[in-house]
């Protein structure tokens, strides 16, 4: 989901780390470390606080169907997990 509004929200409040999982054969330990089952689908997300504490890990492939998800679903997710100011 690429929209200027969503891109600004993400850039302002999050650090995005992309992990190359290849064909489900690379870096799978990262997903395991944060409780994100890559086998449920990608993209997969975890949200950590600035100190590395896990705040959220998708557990059921919630974003595996990202291309068909409405913009509002993404916006709500990132609004919910953005840092409190």
Domains of the chain: 4-81 (3.40.30.10)
pLDDT tier at 37, thresholds 50, 70, 90: confident
pLDDT tier at 6, thresholds 50, 70, 90: confident
User: How confident is the model at residue 38, as a pLDDT?
Assistant: 86
Average pLDDT over every residue of 10-37 = 91
pLDDT tier at 41, thresholds 50, 70, 90: confident
| 1 pLDDT higher than 70 | no
Q: What percent of the chain has pLDDT over 70?
A: 98
Full-model pTM: 0.78
Q: Are the CB atoms for 69 and 78 separated by under 8 Å?
A: no
Dmax (CA) for the chain in angstroms is: 39
């Amino acid at each position: 989901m690429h929209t200027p509004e969503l891109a600004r929200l993400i850039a302002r409040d999050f650090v995005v780390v992309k992990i190359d999982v290849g064909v489900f054969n690379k870096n799978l330990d990262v997903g395991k470390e944060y409780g994100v089952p890559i086998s449920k689908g990608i993209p997969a997300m975890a949200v950590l606080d600035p100190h590395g504490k896990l705040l959220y890990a998708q557990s059921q492939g919630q974003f595996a169907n990202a291309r068909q998800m409405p913009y509002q679903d993404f916006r709500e997710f990132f609004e919910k997990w953005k840092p409190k100011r």
